Amino acid sequence: MAKIIPFKAVRPTRDKVSLVASRSYQSYTQAELEARLDYNPFSFLHIVNPGYKYHKDITGKERYNLVKNRYLEFKEDHIFIQDETPCYYAYKVVNRDGNMFSGIVAAASAEDYKNDVIKKHEDTIEYRENIFKDYLKTVGFNAEPVLLTYSGNSTINSIISEVQKERAEYEFTTHFRDTHYLWVIDNETSIKTIQKEFEDIDTTYIADGHHRSASSYLLSEDLKSENKQHTGNEAYNYFMAYLIPESDLKIHEFNRLVKDLNGLTKEAFLIQLDRLYRIENRGNELYKPNKKHHFSMYLDGEFYSLYLRKSNYTFNNALDALDTQILYKTILEPILGVSDLRNDTRIDYSHGKNDLVTIKSKVDSGIFKVGFGLVPITIEEMKAIADNHLTMPPKSTFIEPKLRSGVAIYEF
């Protein structure tokens, strides 16, 4: 039973939402960041980068306090307003590729995270969990929802469809040519129906935002222990989520690039590959795999197709059958010596929205020696990993939609 409740969002005024909304802070180049901070006083980036005001890099607790101050200033200046009653928010994104994503922004239960009603498929790093927990504890808000997915519900879909026939509260297009829409669902009957329908859903899955979910759970435990009158209904028992049917989710692959052949010659490397793969030289053909357990490889100016010899590889569980795990266990770790996929500086990743030309150009530049192309992981594979309490290798999925920070904010 998923506990998904409405909340009183803090939101930009309609006339400023396109100016406020931002991508995640880490996704900007330094030049992009400076341009937005220099020329857009309403950008949410001013809140999360408070040191800009003082031309100084500020970190730790001092930064957290200044983030809170900038946020309060946006509220005081009426750039942000808060809804008077708890609402759900229908949110739609139409990207430049024509893909449409439609779901509900709501508050998800931290207790559900603890009890595996919200299921995970990635490992989190403890120190990152605690850093973000401390950040949340100081600033007192979520500004970027965790992306959750579920099997779908015809009643919820019907309510969203009816709401979307009306004029959107927000409609804005980004520099990436993605158009975002938000509708406020404040009808009491619709709210009760949506909440009840989610209660009939046994499981939701984290598609994107594992660290944010983990940190929000840790925060709820901290604040619960500090509150002698804790009831379970406090805002800190929840975190902001965007819930989208799994049929609407778009999963892209993450391709791999490695800087050297671990001391091997090209010929010696290919001979070692031949033990577990049938190899075909594709020459200049931009070869992209289209089946599970098939990979493309770009090496020394040529593309190759790699077909796993299944007779020499054992599938024990859902993780063993995952292409990112197969590549790791058969090539990256034993042959190329890349054992730490998260921290080894010899490996890099390029998500599947970039084409094979990206891999080719990076190898041709000499920065990398070899690149590998994969097919995307499916939602069924992702759910199987989560259901069996397994974890994918890092950078196994690049998932859309990507929402903007600052469009709806959850306070606790």
pLDDT tens readout for residues 302-334: 999 999 998 989 999 999 999 999 999 999 999
pLDDT over 80 (residue 354): no
b/e per residue, 236-265, with b = 16+ CB within 10 A?
A: bbbbbbbbbbbebbbbbbbbbbbbebbebe
Q: What is the pLDDT of residues 3-18, one digit of tens each?
A: 999 999 999 999 999 9
Mean pLDDT over 399-404 rounds to 92
List the structure tokens of 157: 């879909």
0.75 exceeded by pTM: yes
Q: Are 407 and 180 contacting, i.e. CB atoms less than 8 angstroms apart?
A: yes
DSSP letters, 246-263, are: GGG-EEE-EEEEES--TT
Please choose, from the candidates 12, 9, 14, the residue with its C-alpha nearest in 3D space to the C-alpha of residue 22: 12
Average pLDDT taken over every residue of the chain: 96
**pLDDT at site 66:** 97
Q: Write the single-letter amino acid at 382.
A: M
pLDDT tens-digit map of 98-143: 899 999 999 999 999 999 999 999 988 899 999 999 999 999 999 9
Q: 380 pLDDT exceeds 90?
A: yes
pLDDT of residue 152: 87
Q: What φ, ψ does residue 24 adopt, rounded to 5°?
A: -65, 145
Distance CA(254)–CA(47), nearest Å, equals: 31
Q: 75-79, 256-260, 291-295, 311-315: which has the minimum mean pLDDT? A: 311-315
Domain boundaries, the chain: 4-251+400-411, 254-396
pLDDT at position 312 is 87
Asked if residue 144 has pLDDT above 80, the reply is: yes
Given this model, what pLDDT does residue 235 score? 98
For residues 326-345, give the mean pLDDT: 96
Q: How far apart are CA 104 and CA 153, in angstroms?
A: 12
DSSP-assigned beta bridge partners for residue 184: 89
pLDDT at 353 (0 to 100): 78
Alpha helix segments (H runs only) across 200-257: 210-226
Give the orientation angle of helix 188-199 with respect to helix 154-163, to 10 degrees. Answer: 150
User: How large is the average pLDDT for residues 15-33?
Assistant: 92
pLDDT confidence of residue 175 = 87
Q: Is residue 170 classed as helix, strand or coil in its secondary structure?
A: strand
Cα–Cα distance between 403 and 21 in angstroms, integer? 9
Longest dimension (CA), the chain: 69
356 has pLDDT over 90: no
CATH class as words, domain 254-396: alpha beta
pLDDT at residue 26 is higher than 90 = no
The encoded tokens of residue 311 equal: 């007779």
Q: How far apart are CA 127 and CA 346, in angstroms?
A: 23
Q: Which of 2, 118, 13 is nearest to 406 (CA)?
A: 13
